[in-house]
Amino acid sequence: MNCVSEGDGQISRLMNPAIESELRALSPAERILLVEEIWDRIAAEPESVPVSASHRVELDRRLDSLEKNPDQGRPWDEVRDELRRR
Protein backbone atom coordinates (compact mmCIF):
# COMPACT_ATOMS: atom_id res chain seq x y z
CA MET A 1 0.00 0.00 0.00
CA ASN A 2 1.07 3.52 -0.69
CA CYS A 3 0.42 6.75 1.16
CA VAL A 4 -2.58 8.92 0.49
CA SER A 5 -1.64 11.90 -1.64
CA GLU A 6 -3.69 15.00 -0.96
CA GLY A 7 -4.57 17.89 -3.22
CA ASP A 8 -3.07 16.57 -6.44
CA GLY A 9 -6.35 15.42 -7.98
CA GLN A 10 -5.20 11.81 -8.33
CA ILE A 11 -6.75 8.69 -6.88
CA SER A 12 -5.32 8.08 -3.43
CA ARG A 13 -2.91 5.18 -3.52
CA LEU A 14 -4.32 2.94 -0.82
CA MET A 15 -4.53 -0.35 -2.68
CA ASN A 16 -2.70 -2.91 -4.69
CA PRO A 17 -1.87 -1.49 -8.15
CA ALA A 18 -3.46 -4.53 -9.85
CA ILE A 19 -6.75 -3.91 -8.06
CA GLU A 20 -6.57 -0.23 -8.91
CA SER A 21 -6.07 -1.12 -12.58
CA GLU A 22 -9.16 -3.33 -12.49
CA LEU A 23 -11.17 -0.54 -10.88
CA ARG A 24 -10.14 1.90 -13.60
CA ALA A 25 -11.41 -0.58 -16.21
CA LEU A 26 -14.92 -0.57 -14.72
CA SER A 27 -17.61 1.61 -16.23
CA PRO A 28 -19.03 4.41 -14.08
CA ALA A 29 -22.17 2.33 -13.49
CA GLU A 30 -20.08 -0.65 -12.37
CA ARG A 31 -18.05 1.55 -10.01
CA ILE A 32 -21.26 2.88 -8.48
CA LEU A 33 -22.52 -0.67 -7.93
CA LEU A 34 -19.20 -1.58 -6.34
CA VAL A 35 -19.36 1.38 -3.98
CA GLU A 36 -22.93 0.44 -3.03
CA GLU A 37 -21.85 -3.13 -2.31
CA ILE A 38 -18.92 -1.97 -0.19
CA TRP A 39 -21.16 0.46 1.71
CA ASP A 40 -23.79 -2.24 2.33
CA ARG A 41 -21.13 -4.56 3.77
CA ILE A 42 -19.85 -1.83 6.08
CA ALA A 43 -23.39 -0.94 7.16
CA ALA A 44 -24.12 -4.61 7.92
CA GLU A 45 -21.44 -4.52 10.64
CA PRO A 46 -21.79 -1.11 12.33
CA GLU A 47 -19.93 -2.37 15.39
CA SER A 48 -16.81 -2.78 13.26
CA VAL A 49 -16.70 0.92 12.35
CA PRO A 50 -14.60 2.82 14.87
CA VAL A 51 -16.14 5.86 16.58
CA SER A 52 -13.69 8.41 17.93
CA ALA A 53 -13.88 9.43 21.57
CA SER A 54 -14.97 12.96 20.64
CA HIS A 55 -17.78 11.64 18.44
CA ARG A 56 -18.87 9.22 21.17
CA VAL A 57 -19.07 12.13 23.65
CA GLU A 58 -21.19 14.14 21.19
CA LEU A 59 -23.50 11.20 20.47
CA ASP A 60 -23.96 10.60 24.20
CA ARG A 61 -24.68 14.31 24.74
CA ARG A 62 -27.34 14.34 22.01
CA LEU A 63 -28.95 11.14 23.26
CA ASP A 64 -29.05 12.53 26.80
CA SER A 65 -30.63 15.75 25.52
CA LEU A 66 -33.27 13.78 23.60
CA GLU A 67 -34.10 11.66 26.63
CA LYS A 68 -34.44 14.73 28.88
CA ASN A 69 -36.45 16.76 26.34
CA PRO A 70 -38.24 14.36 23.96
CA ASP A 71 -40.59 17.08 22.66
CA GLN A 72 -37.86 19.60 21.89
CA GLY A 73 -36.97 18.27 18.43
CA ARG A 74 -38.89 18.26 15.18
CA PRO A 75 -39.83 15.32 12.96
CA TRP A 76 -37.41 14.68 10.10
CA ASP A 77 -40.19 14.94 7.49
CA GLU A 78 -40.98 18.46 8.68
CA VAL A 79 -37.34 19.58 8.63
CA ARG A 80 -36.73 18.00 5.21
CA ASP A 81 -39.81 19.67 3.71
CA GLU A 82 -38.75 23.03 5.09
CA LEU A 83 -35.27 22.65 3.60
CA ARG A 84 -36.68 21.68 0.20
CA ARG A 85 -38.85 24.80 0.11
CA ARG A 86 -35.76 27.04 0.39
Shared domain check, 18 and 31:
yes
Coil, helix or strand at residue 78:
helix
Q: What is the pTM of this model?
A: 0.49
* Confidence at residue 13, expressed as pLDDT on a 0 to 100 scale: 62
| Residue 72 domain boundaries | 51-85
Query: What sign for the dihedral angle of Cα 21, 24, 29, 31?
Result: positive
Give per-residue pLDDT as tens, 65-83: 999 998 888 999 999 999 9
Give per-residue pLDDT as tens, 5-60: 445 555 556 778 888 889 999 999 999 999 999 999 999 998 999 999 999 999 99
Shared domain check, 40 and 20:
yes
Shared domain check, 34 and 3:
yes
